[in-house]
Structure 1
Amino acid sequence: MAVRHRVIKADPAVVWEVLADGNRYAEWVVGTGDSRPRSGRWPRKDASLTYEIRLGPVRLNNQTVVRHCREGSLLELEIIAGLLGTARFSIELREWGEDCLVLVDEHPLRGAGAAVHNVGVEALIQLRHRSMLARLARCCEETAARHREPAAREASGAEGTGRA
């Protein structure tokens, strides 16, 4: 099973905010083109997104369906990739001091992906996860910085009005 983790320098609520925005899915999932809602309300159970996967010149239309959601801490997805089959993808968030420990776990369920799953494929999934977690960290840390900006401006403005 391809399990990987990363500490992201953001509050778990900020990380969840990014995960819960289906329009941002393509920002952090490697190889994914523009994502858009397909059905339901992301990330509620059975909601789905549709997007394009690019593999060199090949373009595949895929979808991801929420199979389980524990708001703020766990998102379990089924990735439906046509002839390639389906995979389970789980993202768990844990408080880690002031930061967030993100654990991802992916394994094939059905189809060609499950039939050819081996150590080599597992290594490729690990590389993809490393890149994906780096992209997720960047998204979350930028979002956290934007959240801090208004508070910092407000604090500096309040200090400035107290001086005469």
Structure 2
Amino acid sequence: MSVNSRILRTTPERVWDVLADGWLYPLWVVGASRVRDVDDSFPAKGSQIYHSVGVWPALIDDSTEVLDVDPYQHIRLRARGWPIGEAEVVIELGPSGAFTEVVIREDAVAGPGTLIPEPLKGLSLKWRNTETLRRLAYIAENRTAS
């Protein structure tokens, strides 16, 4: 399992607004290329984002489902990208003074990704989620309040 964290220089509400807008998913999730649809109930438990991963023309259409959610606190997702596999991702928000600490925990749970040795898998997920948190910070810290 890979664990990454970052302090975002904004409130948990502003971070949550980005996480709760499924249409923004490819802007902050490394590897997501586009969103094809978002359930109207997103980010409710059981709702999904229908996305594509990869680079054109080799795009894979799949989805990410919300497994558990506590608004402004955490969201647990099942991200699919077959034939690559599936990952479980937990994003937690917590106060850090006037700012927000965001922690991402991710692990492969199905498919070929589960066969990758932990040190190698951990390094690649760590790099990817460092960039994911960087992108999330850019959006949450600089987006105008709605």
Could you say which TM-score interval applies, normalised by the shorter chain?
A: over 0.9
Matched ranges for 1:1-164 at <5 A: 1-39=1-39, 41-55=41-55, 58-143=58-143, 146-147=144-145
Aligned partners of 2:30, 2:117: CA distance in 1, in Å? 19
The structure whose Rg is larger is 1
Identity of counterpart residues, as a percentage? Answer: 27
Could you give the per-residue CA deviations for residues 39-97 of structure 1, whole angstroms, max 9, x where no partner exists? Answer: 45110001001111115752111210000000111000001111222110000000111
Q: Which has the higher contact order (CA 8 A, sep 6+)?
A: 2
Unaligned runs of 5+ in 1: 151-164
After TM superposition, where is structure 1 displaced by more than 6 Å over at least 4 residues in a row?
Answer: none
Greater share of strand: 2
* TM-score, structure 2 normalization: 0.93
State the TM-score, normalizing by the size of structure 1: 0.83
* Change over 3 Å in CA distance of 1:10–1:32 after alignment to 2: same
Indicate the RMSD between aligned Cα atoms, in angstroms: 1.7
Distance in 2, Cα, partners of 1:59 & 1:117: 26
Matched pairs, number: 146
More helix by percentage: 1
Q: Contact (CA 8 Å) 2:79, 2:88: kept in 1 or not?
A: yes
